[in-house]
Structure 1
């Protein structure tokens, strides 16, 4: 087979390498072309060198090109994968820093909450530019695979306004299933059969079967509480499991910021989180992790390049959906996964226009969703709160309506539990002004926002958050990795 895959945001070096090697685990795909594009020539050069080394080491005919000219990369592409982070870590730091001034403590801040909503405002205009290019220069039947957050908002905009065949992909479901299989004592995650449904990062394991035996709520609670690690790292998820009766796919830290109950009181936050790793609830945890990862890669790049000389091991193919979807579409080997698509009645008690994450099957006829799923009422209610915020956020990003943007932020569950309307109005003004270079749709609103900020009487505070850790130096990271290696 010979076709072209374009990767936008390919400068996300580690993730691009993973997607690349996964796809080349499919024997029929050795003769394809990868077109890499990014706004950073520096990152492009690094990832191209790594991928070229992989191709050479495995004696493959695979072609790899790299360009900052996005349209050139998209020309004739059958599949387009997006891994972009618009504004980079600079804008992301504001997504965490500014809401903290108003008492809003986020662990990740990239899906909803104040940070995720502003992230969507930066991404959506760029996503629509991608879609325009795809319609004009890509293959007629091109498929857009979006990995970028905020997943639901980006996918919603691409489908409703970009008019491109789009699917959103995330690995939260797979990771949650691996946890469940482990606590239940399965020898392999493959022994667990499950139905997981909801919206991205608020997806729920509504049916669990281990080797054909149905697992009920009480057995799952007991298994998690008995686990020596997860009982400490996933305290919030276990509490939600007890109250809702089903387990959430999302990490302890991520889930904590989608709900209005666990992060609204600073003195309560540490009760529910765990500081052993960023993903369990640390204030600004993913920002710290991302900063450390970037610094580590820049410093240790020669090691990454050397590692690329190893043969591809198909047995180590990851559970990221992209390679499996492409394999199913191109070879008709059926793949079952969980995909982010427009609802259109798949989940009976969520709106038709919402972007859901739910089971589907892929073959040469496309992605076919399993329809007729009804969520438990509490799960549906929790999803609805986020869906309403997502809808307003998408419409605000399209229209450039700053008042609608403020209403979207006001209706966010955690923001609403922490902040007053006056605080929200000022916070959004502050974020729009700080991120103006990435928000072209709000250019007309920036002068008035600056004027309001100059006269504001709303009080803020400089606050690091309830559970903040400092970014570690390269030397500290080296010492930690050495200690872990010695322990093993």
Structure 2
């Protein structure tokens, strides 16, 4: 087989390498072309050197190209994969920093909440540019695979306004299933069967079976509470399981910022999170992790290049969906996964226009979703709160309507639990002004926002958050890695 895959945002070095090696685990794909594109020539050259080394070491005919010209990369591509972060870590820092001034403490801030909504405002115009290029230049019928957050908003915009065949992909379901299999004592992941349905980052394990035996709420709660690690790292998630009756796919830290109950007061935040790793609820945890990861790649690049000499091992293929979807579409070997698509009745008690995440099967005929799923009422109510925010956010990003953007932020569950309308209005003005270079649709609204900020009487505070950690230096990371290796 010979076809072209374009990866936009390929400068995400580690993730691009994972996608690349996964896809080359499919024996029929050795003759394909990967076209890498990114705004950063520096990052492109880093990842191209790594991928070239993999090709050379495995004696493959695979072609790898790299260009900052996105249209050139997309031209003739059958599949386009997006891993972009518009505004990079500079804009992301404002997504965390500015809401903290108004008492809003986020762990990740890239899906909803104040940070995720502004992230969507930056991404959606660029996503629509991608879609335009795909319509004009890609192979007819090309498929757009979106890995970038905010997943639901990006996918919603690409399908509804970009008019491109799009699927959103995330690994939250797989990671949640791995936890469940572990606490239940499964010998392998294959012993666990499940149906997981909802929206991205709020997907729910509505049916669980271990070796064909149904697992109920009480057994699952007992298993998590008995686990020596998860009982401490997933306290909030376990509490939601007890109250809702089903387990959420999303990490303790992520889930905490989608709900109005656990992060609205500093003393409550520290009660529900765990500081052993950023993903369990640390203030700005993913920003710190991303900053450290970027610095690590920059300084440890020779090691990453050397590791690329190892042979590709199909037994170590990851559970990221992309390679499995491509394999199913191209070879007909059926793949079952959980995909982000427009609802259209797949989940009976969520709106038809929403982007849902639910089970589907892939073969040569495409992605075929399992329809007619009804999720528990409490899960649907929680999803609906986010869907309403997502819908307003997408419409605001398309129209450049700053008043609609403020209403979207006001209706966010955590923001609404913490901030007053006056605070929300000022916070959005401040975020739009700070990020104006990445928000072309709001250019006409920026002067008035600046004037309102100059005359505002809303008080803010300089606050690092309830559970903030400093970014570790390369020397500290090396020392910690060495200590872990010695302990093992």
Identify the TM-score tier after normalising by the shorter chain: over 0.9
Aligned residue for 2:368, secondary structure, equals strand
Q: Distance in 2 between matches of 1:197 and 1:430?
A: 36
Displacement after TM superposition at 1:151 (Å): 0.0
Could you list the per-position Cα deviations for residues 188-219 of structure 1 after superposition, in whole angstroms to 9, with x for gaps in the alignment? Answer: 11110000000000000000000000000000
1:7 match: 7
Could you list the per-position Cα deviations for residues 120-142 of structure 1 after superposition, in whole angstroms to 9, with x for gaps in the alignment? Answer: 00000000000000000000010
2:281 match: 281
Unaligned runs of 5+ in 1: none
The correspondence of residues 57-206 of structure 1 with structure 2, limited to 5 A, is 57-206=57-206
Displacement after TM superposition at 1:477 (Å): 0.3
Moved over 4 A (4+): none
2:55 match: 55
Could you list the per-position Cα deviations for residues 143-182 of structure 1 after superposition, in whole angstroms to 9, with x for gaps in the alignment? Answer: 0000000000000000000000000000000000000000
Could you list the per-position Cα deviations for residues 13-40 of structure 1 after superposition, in whole angstroms to 9, with x for gaps in the alignment? Answer: 0000000000000000000000000000
Could you list the per-position Cα deviations for residues 245-278 of structure 1 after superposition, in whole angstroms to 9, with x for gaps in the alignment? Answer: 0000000000000000000011111000000000
Could you list the per-position Cα deviations for residues 359-418 of structure 1 after superposition, in whole angstroms to 9, with x for gaps in the alignment? Answer: 000000000000000010000000000000000000000000000000000000000000
2:253 match: 253
Q: Distance in 2 between matches of 1:89 and 1:362?
A: 35
Q: Distance in 1 between matches of 2:141 and 2:121?
A: 28
Q: Distance in 1 between matches of 2:268 and 2:356?
A: 31
Displacement after TM superposition at 1:473 (Å): 0.4
Aligned residue for 1:180, secondary structure, equals helix
Aligned residue for 1:205, secondary structure, equals strand
Displacement after TM superposition at 1:78 (Å): 0.2
Q: Distance in 1 between matches of 2:222 and 2:454?
A: 55
Q: Distance in 2 between matches of 1:289 and 1:379?
A: 30
Unaligned runs of 5+ in 2: none
Q: Distance in 2 between matches of 1:452 and 1:361?
A: 51
Q: Distance in 2 between matches of 1:447 and 1:160?
A: 30
Q: Distance in 1 between matches of 2:262 and 2:86?
A: 29
Give TM-score scaled by structure 1 length. Answer: 1.00
Q: Distance in 2 between matches of 1:473 and 1:133?
A: 40
Q: Distance in 2 between matches of 1:355 and 1:58?
A: 39
Aligned residue for 2:71, secondary structure, equals helix
Aligned residue for 1:346, secondary structure, equals coil
Q: Distance in 1 between matches of 2:430 and 2:189?
A: 46
Q: Distance in 2 between matches of 1:258 and 1:308?
A: 38
Aligned residue for 1:35, secondary structure, equals strand
Displacement after TM superposition at 1:221 (Å): 0.2
Q: Distance in 2 between matches of 1:461 and 1:54?
A: 50
Aligned residue for 1:248, secondary structure, equals coil
Q: Distance in 2 between matches of 1:48 and 1:190?
A: 35
Displacement after TM superposition at 1:41 (Å): 0.2
Aligned residue for 1:247, secondary structure, equals coil
Q: Distance in 2 between matches of 1:8 and 1:259?
A: 32
Aligned residue for 2:387, secondary structure, equals helix
Task: Give the alignment's Cα RMSD to 1 decimal.
Answer: 0.2
Q: Distance in 2 between matches of 1:353 and 1:27?
A: 38
Displacement after TM superposition at 1:102 (Å): 0.1
1:351 match: 351
Q: Distance in 2 between matches of 1:190 and 1:84?
A: 32
Q: Distance in 1 between matches of 2:342 and 2:32?
A: 30
Q: Distance in 2 between matches of 1:91 and 1:484?
A: 33
Displacement after TM superposition at 1:113 (Å): 0.1
Could you list the per-position Cα deviations for residues 26-73 of structure 1 after superposition, in whole angstroms to 9, with x for gaps in the alignment? Answer: 000000000000000000000000000000000000000000000000
Aligned residue for 1:120, secondary structure, equals helix
Aligned residue for 2:198, secondary structure, equals strand
Give TM-score scaled by structure 2 length. Answer: 1.00
Q: Distance in 2 between matches of 1:211 and 1:175?
A: 19
Q: Distance in 2 between matches of 1:205 and 1:483?
A: 37
Could you list the per-position Cα deviations for residues 322-371 of structure 1 after superposition, in whole angstroms to 9, with x for gaps in the alignment? Answer: 00000000000000000000000000000000000000000000000000
2:310 match: 310
Q: Distance in 1 between matches of 2:210 and 2:328?
A: 26
Could you list the per-position Cα deviations for residues 78-101 of structure 1 after superposition, in whole angstroms to 9, with x for gaps in the alignment? Answer: 000000000000000000000000
